[in-house]
Copies of this chain bind each other. A is one copy, B any other.
Amino acid sequence: MSPTAALITASFCRRVLKQSYFLHRHHRRRLHSVIEYPLTHPIYTIWASNTSLGKTLVSAGLSMSFLSSSSAPFNSKRFVYVKPVQTGFPDDSDSRLVYRKFSEFFTYKPLPFSVFASNSVLKASSPAANAVLRNGMAGGSLRTEAFGAEVIEKGGNFGGGLENVHWYEERKLRGSESNETESFPASQIVCKTMYAWKEAVSPHLAAEREEAIVGDAEVLHMLKRCLGNGLIGASSNTEDLEVMCVIETAGGVASPGPSGSLQCDLYRNSCGDGRLGGISGTISAYESLKLRGYDVAAVIFEDHGLVNEVPLLSYFRNRVPVFVLPSIPTDMSDDLMSWFDKSQMIFTSLKDIMLSNFQKRMQRLHDMPKKACDIFWWPFTQHKLVPEEKVTVIDSRCGENFAVHKSCNWISQQFDACASWWTQGPDANLQIELARDMGYTAARYGHVMFPENVYEPALELAEILLEGVGKGWASRVYFSDNGSTAVEIALKMAFRKFLSDNKVLLDLVNADVNGRCLDLKVLALQGSYHGDTLGAMEAQAPSPYTGFLQQPWYRGRGLFLDPPTVSMSDDIWEVALPQKMQSGKSGHECLSFNSRDEIFKRSRDGSDLASLYASFILQELHSLSDSNGLSHIGALIIEPVIQGAGGMQMIDPLYQRILVRECKYRKIPVIFDEVFTGFWRLGRESAAEMLYCQPDIACFAKLMTGGIIPLAVTLASDAVFEAFTGDSKLKALLHGHSYSAHAMGCAAAVKSVKWFKDSNTNMNLISESRSLQELWDAALVSQISLLPAVHRVVALGTLCAIELLAEGSNAGYASTYASSLLKNLREDGIFMRPLGNVIYMMCGPCTSPDICRSLLEKVYDRIQEFGLHKDESAVFAA
């Protein structure tokens, strides 16, 4: 009942840095340079659910079948075996076992060419290093052949208790048909142990007891070097070199690595695998790997004659190939040569599947851009302007970063600075948490019907929202799918509330069957954006999105006010007044500020500027009510503090506060569209907190689910809800979508909303002020604002927006002015998209300020460069 099974997953690069969060929260890993990973040859990782010999034998068998397989003549091959973490050393050494079993098998069945074999150990704990120095490698004799050598070199302790131990052995294995003047270079098998500890216990224990600890980042860095070295070896004509790499993990899939991180999390960044265990262990380990986004290429297990493969085959059918190896001799004196011989066909099939999977994957990655151009219809995209080579192939995402496939067959890491759109949220740890929750919720609930029903994820989310972003004013939660639907629902709520507060108008409506005599308008701001469905579009002022060719039904059913904006220019925070207001200015108004915080101060309510704002707002409201008796403002809708799609404009919070005050005074329901601004985007859970006022209705979406799955809510006060109660269903709010309050979206939101506001999981949180710490280095932001190419900067919460100085067709939404700048930044590992001549970066609420600083530095450098080139071309033009 405990067969030896092995399971191999395809190599894929997630990201190379991983925060070992739970155990090493104090070790913040930093992103210093662009991290890249080769995809020029297959790399697989072998995992197991126990510590048996099986996976090492699978590695050895693979090395034999790979190096002996026939291929193009004169191509030499290299098999690289890496054991990142070895305990029980030197008594146990899997890399040595692979090295020796291969050598023995070569002697048993020589290949028709020569092979260089080597094995090395790079670093070890003192006890392990001393054991090697004292006794050499234990167990059996080592015959160094011609050209063979055994080198032990003990280096200095380099901190953490691990020592450099360049233990090295090699031999040349002469092939059956080889002669002294071989016309092509020999093949190679390169075996490496990266880190070794003496005690035969779990790595995290050995590391602790032998005081020789190594962090996750170091392990991954070393692993990359080992795999890289596997490529550029002694052989000069690397083009003809065929390489295959295998990484063997220690223990089981979820066994802790040396830092205590689970191995399946540690290597999520790197490579593939195979593994060993009973039926239950095999399936569970498979599922744990899938839950971390691994592709499993094959499962291998040992035949114990118990027909165990029946349920395994049944489970894995159509999922992954299953191989059955002959029973491994248990007699310790058996040299396993005849077992390897018997197993060769299996190993060859396994190797073929691994190689062909790799080929297929490469082919697919290569073909994807063309296929995408052929069959996708991207939103907001002029396809004519996107040639194949501009398409980004995203192989995976880990936390805030993409793994992007480049045509040169590298996987490169890019920080996703815009997300789709502005959903940037989870760090790597939250992503894995969400993955598990998504699996659980799909299994537990799938999707269930919402109206008149209740289920845990929906109820818990509603409770959390009313205790969070809705605290103090909201009493009801209405679920929908996206920001646009949330806004349409909000407008329906507001209009009904307005009518029920205005009995005269309500009677007018009830008297008129069609009720179309009234013209209900929204009050909104120029530059605002509330979504792309018609109802949401009607609440925005005319823009490139609203032309007749885009939406022939758009009329613009609002009174659109031109608001004052705020931004930093040349290191000074300043208010920019709209044209109309400038003429009404008395000259006493203070328009510049010493700091961003000053802008948000409530004391500004008594300023001259406040009076100016109030008088202009009243003037506009009167202009409408004068025009005719049937037009009425039925709702105010604003994006609090920052207008997103309108170009990342910060509106003077004083102006918005006065606007809300005036509307509340007139019983015009107030809607806050927090789809973009909500959930810490601007440094507070709700942007309303920064305005010091509360809406009657508010819309949330995007980041609410941690940015992984669509879900929206419209929160409402009790007074709004009451406008819909009555005896008839026809008085109810008749708006809904199939996936109203779908369980997975609610579960993702429950996890994320909690995660972001818990200082145990979000280290950016300042609990006392219920705000995020400053993420964007203030000095760097100031410097950027001083660059000649920069018009203005707004850095607030997770957002840093920069408007480039541009004129004419270079400005505005359709401008491609920033494209060369963004292209360079992608080379630097930052994925951004522009809003015309406005560029911006966005991080998650948990992203460390160190990462933000590193991004900002790159942006600073590239804008400086961009400005110089621009000036140069200007000089040339002049």
Which one of B278, B419, B459 lies within 8 Å of A371 (CB-CB)? B459
Give the number of copies in the complex: 2
Q: Mark A381-419, 1 if CB is under 8 A from B, else 0.
A: 111111000111111110000100000000000001011
Q: Which residue of B lies closest to A423 (CB)?
A: B738
Complex A-B, nearest 6 residue pairs according to Cβ-Cβ distance, in ascending order: A252-B280, A515-B548, A379-B736, A439-B439, A293-B444, A534-B535
Contact between chains at A281 and B284 (CB < 8 Å): yes
- In angstroms, how far is the closest chain B Cβ from the Cβ of A270? 14
With A1-B201, A311-B262 known as contacts, the answer to whether A492 contacts B435 (CB < 8 A) is: no
- CB-defined contacts of A377 to chain B, threshold 8 Å: 476-478, 716, 721, 733
In the assembled complex, how far is the CB of residue A46 from the closest CB belonging to chain B, in whole angstroms? 14
Q: In the complex, what's the smallest C-beta–C-beta distance from A274 to chain B, in angstroms?
A: 14
Indicate whether A288 reaches chain B with its CB closer than 8 angstroms: yes
CB A172 to nearest CB in B, in angstroms, measures 38
CB-CB nearest in chain B for A440: B290
Q: Identify 12 new A-B residue pairs, CB closer than 8 A, beyond the known A383-B725, A447-B709.
A: A202-B279, A254-B281, A375-B475, A377-B476, A382-B726, A394-B455, A419-B447, A421-B449, A439-B439, A496-B549, A518-B552, A534-B534
Counting CB contacts under 8 A, is A297 at the interface? no
CB distance from A651 to the nearest CB of B (A): 22
Which listed residue (B287, B396, B419, B451) contacts A380, Cβ 8 A? B451
Is A562 interfacial (CB-CB < 8 Å)? Answer: no
Question: Closest approach, in angstroms, between the C-beta of A371 and any C-beta of chain B?
Answer: 6
Contacting residues, chain B, for A710 (C-beta < 8 A): 481, 710, 737-739, 742, 745
Contact B254 A393 (CB under 8 A): no
- State whether B739 touches A482 (Cβ < 8 A): yes
Chain B's closest residue to A383 (CB) is: B725
Most buried by B among A416, A438, A724: A438
In the complex, A171 has a CB within 8 A of chain B: no
Indicate whether A445 reaches chain B with its CB closer than 8 angstroms: yes
The distance from the CB of A746 to the nearest CB of chain B, in whole angstroms, is 12
Q: Does A453 contact B (CB under 8 A)?
A: yes
Contacts of A202 in B (CB 8 A): 1, 279, 306, 308, 311
Q: Is the CB of B422 within 8 A of A738?
A: yes
B708 in contact with A551 (CB, 8 Å): no
Does A578 have its Cβ within 8 Å of any Cβ on chain B? no
Q: How far is the CA of A512 from the CA of B549 in the complex (A)?
A: 11
> Given contacts A279-B255, A306-B202, A317-B22, are A436 and B438 in contact (CB under 8 A)?
no
B49–A371 CB distance below 8 A: no
Residue A315 interfacial (CB < 8 Å):
yes
B463 touches A375 (CB 8 A): yes
**Contact present for B452 and A205 (CB under 8 Å):** no
A281 touches B277 (CB 8 A): yes
Stretch at the interface among A113-121, A228-236, A426-434, A853-861: A426-434
Chain A, range 493-533, C-beta contacts under 8 Å to B: 495-496, 499, 509, 512, 514-516, 518, 520, 532-533
Rounded to whole Å, the gap between the CB of A268 and the closest CB of chain B is 8
Flag A705-721 by CB within 8 Å of B: 1 or 0 each: 00111100000100001
Determine whether A225 belongs to the interface, using a CB cutoff of 8 Å to chain B: no
Contact residue among B432, B707, B736, B742 (Cβ-Cβ distance under 8 Å from A708): B742
Q: Is B253 touching A279 in the complex (CB atoms < 8 A)? A: no
Chain B residue numbers with a CB within 8 Å of A744 are: 438, 708-709, 744
Name the distance in Å between A868's Cβ and chain B's nearest Cβ: 27
Q: How far is the CA of A434 from the CA of B475 in the complex (A)?
A: 34
Distance in angstroms from A384 CB to nearest chain B CB is: 5
Given A710-B739, A710-B742: A395 in contact with B455 (beta carbons within 8 A): yes
State whether the Cβ of A877 lies closer than 8 Å to any Cβ in chain B.
no
* B482 contacts A738, C-beta separation under 8 Å: yes
Question: Within the assembled complex, what's the spacing in Å between the Cα atoms of A284 and B816?
Answer: 49
CA distance A284 to B265 in the complex (A): 12
Q: Does A594 contact B (CB under 8 A)?
A: no
Q: Are A534 and B544 in contact (CB under 8 A)?
A: no
Query: Which of A691-732 touch B at CB < 8 Å?
Result: 701-702, 707-710, 716, 721, 724-732
- Min CB distance A762 to B, Å, is 14
A665-677 toward B: CB 8 Å interface, digit per residue (1/0)? 0000000000000
